[in-house]
Amino acid sequence: MKIAIASDHAGYRLKNLIKNHFKEHDFNDVGTHSEDSCDYPDYAQLAGEEVASGRADAGIVICGTGIGISIAANKVKGVRAALCTHEFMAEMSRRHNNANVLALAARVTGDDLAIKIAEVWLKTDFDGGRHERRVEKIGKIESSL
């Protein structure tokens, strides 16, 4: 799977940990590339555009709380970013919401839990069915803006 991955300075270490843990995936690291202070919206947009364009199958974005970077990623048309703080959220974001970007909180979620969340998220498929109608409605809201 081709995964766009991005972080700000707070998520830089966790981003590298995830890339090293999931060697079976092809990561397109769109930044940041250091722990120097930077702005998360810049990197959320880059990752989101990779996913929305189809150049990546999925995305992972990381900042300190996961909140800012998930909000920014969701501004990219076609992105459904989900901030997940435990495995059940990761599973349901994929099964029911067809989330295509996972947001993680580097300063809130421990490394082991973050890896488990990403593992669940990456292996879970969309259920479709009644959930498809709801995801389509999200797209209609986005198109009306």
Active site residue 38: no
- The active-site residue, picked from 21, 25, 38, 96, is 96
Q: Which of 59, 98, 68, 66 is nearest to 83 (CA)?
A: 66
Q: Which residue has the tokens 């501004």?
A: 75
Determine how many CB atoms are found less than 10 A away from the CB of residue 60: 31
H or E segment to which residue 88 belongs: helix 87-95
Cα–Cα distances in angstroms (integers) from residue 128 to residues 21, 54, 97, 98, 111, in the given order: 29, 20, 9, 8, 31
Question: CB 31: neighbour CB atoms within 10 A?
Answer: 16
Residue tagged active-site, from 9, 63, 84, 131: 63
Q: Known catalytic residue: 96? A: yes
Backbone angles phi, psi at 61, to 5 degrees: -125, 145
Tokens of 68: 């800012």
Query: Active-site positions?
Result: 63, 96
